[in-house]
Chains A and B, each alone.
Chain A
Amino acid sequence: MREVAIVSFAQAPNVRDAGAKNEVELLMPVAHAALERAGLTLQEIGFTCSGSSDYLAGAPFSFVMAIDALGAWPPISESHVEMDGAWALYEAWVKIQHGAADSALVYGFGKSSSGEIRDVLSLQLDPYYVAPLWPDSISLAALQARALLESSRYSEKDLAEVAVRSRRNARSNPNAQLAGDVDPAALLAEPYLVSPLRKHDCPPISDGVAAVVLAAGDLARRICQRPAWIRGIDHRIEPHSLGVRDLTRSPSTELAAEKAGVQQGPIDLAELHAPFTHQELILRDALGLRDDVELNPSGGALAANPVMVAGLTRIGEAASRISAGSAQRAVAHATSGPCLQQNLVCVLEGE
């Protein structure tokens, strides 16, 4: 395996509604900031890959317009996944492993505000048997939360404490939407949104963009004082039918973590893409994280959840802390699909 590192990360402030700013306008400063921090121009980058979904914009080919933000001229070697940007990063990492490139620009973008995201995500479901019933994303998450509570492993108070910590951590994240000191008892006094989930158990609706630059070996060392090396990266998918899954566990995360080598060394920081409080608890267990691991210092997806971006942001946030020297070995995670159907795990390490 070639040594590949994250050498640069940039993101836009996550907002409830970016309004008249389109994807190109949102992406342009972020992509160029990531390149500038790496000291590379687009033409020096070997491969570019992005993640987005047409259904957020309600228009086909939304990623085609996004390349206008790059100034892709002369033509570039480029690809796109209809997935969170974390999987675009995976494709770019594969390209570098192949030797077809030594560096890559990866970005994800999404304006969740363009439609009713709760309903839009229903269109991810089996189109013949499930989607016509329009179960929305929060209701499906509530089913999962109910199953977890009934397993007696966790209580509603545990869920609230995840929200409290997320918002407390987000106070030091200028790009977060939800930050502050909240009292768990006060949260638990709130009414249910979709039982057993309260509003604080659910993510905010976010518009956002993130970009990462990857580089191999000596190139990474040259352009970054302390690269965040990708020591392992893997992703796995579970069945789509909720009825055949044990929703209280995340076997795909367990398997991806094993393949990525999470347990091959001590982990001091984790950035988990858990849009719902109970999902963080499931993921923590699946990854086998000890109690002393610093969890979601950015505030995680509960503080800002730009769909198609939030997974890549987790990787970027973890990498930033390694590059800053405040972490040595970190795990970053991304999820996709209803109730954590698909999961990606990435192990990052400083020199």
Chain B
Amino acid sequence: MGELCGVVGIGQTKYAAKRGDLSIAGVVREAAIRALEDAELEWKDIDAVVIGKAPDMFEGVMMPELYLADALGAVGKPMLRVHTAGSVGGSTSIVAASLIQAGIHDRVLTVAFEKQSDSNAMWALSSKQPFSPHINAGAGGYFAPLIRTYIRRSQAPDHIGMLVAFKDRLNALKNPYAHLHIEDISMQKIEDSFMLWAPIRYLESCPSSDGACAMVLAREALAKDAPRPPAWVLGTAMRTEPTMFAGREEVNPQAGKDCAADVYRQAGIENPRRDIDVAEVYVPFSWFEPMWMENLGFAEDGEGWKMTDEGETALDGDMPINPSGGVLSSNPIGASGMIRFAEAALQVRGMAGEHQIDGARVALGHAYGGGSQYFSMWIVSSEQP
């Protein structure tokens, strides 16, 4: 079905609470130039630009792609702007891939960013909506009740969330781009951090970050000739369901299960735990690791926490999750999904540096957003199908 798409260039900025050294244009350009350098290409080699970010209120710029056209070398080219809530970084990658897969373009640059320090995400997420009751909850306040429901149902012990945070924060120390490098991280330090939204402690939460991620995607013949090994896109999927309705399963959403089933089918994955070597999964609050392990079919319902508890999701485990340190360590919101997709690609390209999983051949990139209702996923492989 369609043309084969390969990831031939990846670029990331150093993620930080405030990139005061760069404008918004500077942030996206830093990532885009690194992706072009990785692919050994120039701006003129790019046919189209697909850009994504989360709500425009995070920076206070309406449709910033208009202003960024110059900085991203898009002048005279097609430029698309995607926005699908927290999953947007993933969806943006998928839209870019579809331009290659449909045979419309040879090479596409895709970029996702957030410059959270330009505004206040908590404010932007909680502004008074014209037709809804005003809730000053932010993301953590929204997701904490889902986590409590998960703990009650699965009887997971209290330390699981802290274990996830400890693992991801250790992994981040091996990723030079990660925002949080907490050298003296320990279970005790996490336990002692203050409670934000029970049971989510401060150190079990994602930071607010500035940063961007970029990828260059190319059609088969060009990807084969790329200077560095490409990551081949074996499947892409997006799913959406409404935010709320009576009886909606919010902890283990159907949209996530359907999205995973679709992408596994495309990639020929029968048993995800066996067939996937490493996964970058969108975990903004620690407990979402075990929750997504079940949603993605890596564990039976109610058993996801055991993977974390037994160290299976660690770097040296049999199903490494978020070797990069994940969203818990870097969270430029609109880019966080693309970072998952790009880190999955880095793993199968063998270019993940200190957090490389030896012999990774097949990797999953995962993102979600809204009230656990928007999902985007891709499977990439070192082997050309």
Interface of A is mostly: mixed
**Contacting residue for A74 out of B83, B85, B254, CB 8 A:** B254
Complex-state Cα separation, A22 to B129, whole angstroms: 11
- For window 62-109 of chain A, which residues contact chain B by CB distance below 8 Å? 63-65, 67-68, 71-83, 87, 90-91, 94-95, 97-100
CB neighbours of B243 from chain A (8 A): 64-65, 68
Q: Are B242 and A98 in contact (CB under 8 A)?
A: no
Number of interface residues of A (CB under 8 A): 64
Asked if B99 is at the interface of the complex by the 8 Å CB criterion, the answer is: yes
Complex contact A54–B104 (CB within 8 A): no
| Distance in angstroms between the alpha carbons of A64 and B54 in the assembled complex | 12
Are the C-beta atoms of A94 and B99 separated by less than 8 Å? yes
B102 touches A239 (CB 8 A): no
CB-defined contacts of A100 to chain B, threshold 8 Å: 1-2, 98, 101, 236
Query: Which single member of B59, B74, B102 contacts A94 (CB below 8 Å)?
Result: B102
Within 8 A of A (CB), among B32-78: 54-57, 59-70, 74-78
Binds B, one of A173-181, A230-238, A279-287: A230-238
Report whether A237 and B55 are in contact in the complex, using a CB–CB cutoff of 8 Å: no
CB contacts (< 8 Å) of B69 on chain A: these are 237-240, 341-342
Residue of B nearest to A338 (CB): B66
Q: Is the CB–CB distance between B78 and A237 below 8 Å?
A: yes
B104: contacting residue among A97, A128, A239, A251, CB under 8 A:
A97
In the assembly, what is the distance between CA of A77 and CA of B245, in Å? 19
B2–A123 touching, CB < 8 Å: no
Residue B338 lies at the interface, judged by CB distance under 8 Å to chain A: no
The answer, yes or no, to whether B351 is at the interface (CB within 8 Å) is: no
Question: CB of B238 within 8 A of chain A?
Answer: yes
Instruction: Kindly state the separation between the CA atoms of A337 and B238 in the bound complex, as whole angstroms.
Output: 28
CB-CB nearest in chain B for A240 = B67
Q: Binary interface profile of A, 283-317, with partner B (CB < 8 Å = 1, else 0)?
A: 00000000000000000000000000000000000
Mark each residue of chain B from 85 to 103: 1 if its CB lies under 8 Å from any CB of chain A, else 0.
1000001001100110111
Q: Assess whether A236 is in contact with B78, with CB atoms less than 8 Å apart.
A: yes
* A76 engages B239 (CB within 8 Å): yes
Identify which of B54, B91, B101, B371 contacts A98 (C-beta below 8 A): B101
In-complex Cβ contact of A342 among B56, B57, B70, B79 (8 A): B79
Task: Say whether A58 faces chain B, with CB atoms less than 8 Å apart.
Answer: yes
Q: Is the C-beta of B112 less than 8 angstroms from some C-beta in chain A?
A: no
- Cβ of B255 within 8 Å of any chain A Cβ, yes or no, is yes
Beyond A64-B373, A82-B81, A99-B2, whether A59 also contacts B129 by CB under 8 A is yes
Inter-chain contact A67/B240, CB cutoff 8 Å:
yes
Which of B1, B62, B67 is close to A55, meaning CB atoms less than 8 Å apart?
B62
CB distance from A82 to the nearest CB of B (A): 4
Q: Does A120 contact B (CB under 8 A)?
A: yes
Contact among B57, B98, B241, B255 with A54 in the assembled complex (CB-CB below 8 Å) = B57
* A128 nearest in chain B by CB position: B23
Nearest chain A CB to B245 CB, angstrom units: 7
Closest approach, in angstroms, between the C-beta of A255 and any C-beta of chain B? 6
Tell me if A239 and B242 are in contact (CB < 8 A): no
> A124 contacts B84, CB within 8 Å?
no
What is the distance, in angstroms, from B185's C-beta to the closest C-beta of chain A? Answer: 32
- Of listed B75, B124, B254, residue having the most chain A CB within 10 A: B75
Q: Report 13 cross-chain contacts, Cβ distance below 8 Å, ordered by A residue.
A: A54-B57, A68-B242, A75-B240, A79-B82, A79-B238, A80-B83, A95-B98, A97-B104, A98-B102, A100-B236, A120-B62, A127-B118, A240-B68
Name the 6 nearest CB pairs between A and B, nearest first.
A60-B55, A97-B102, A75-B255, A78-B240, A123-B62, A98-B102
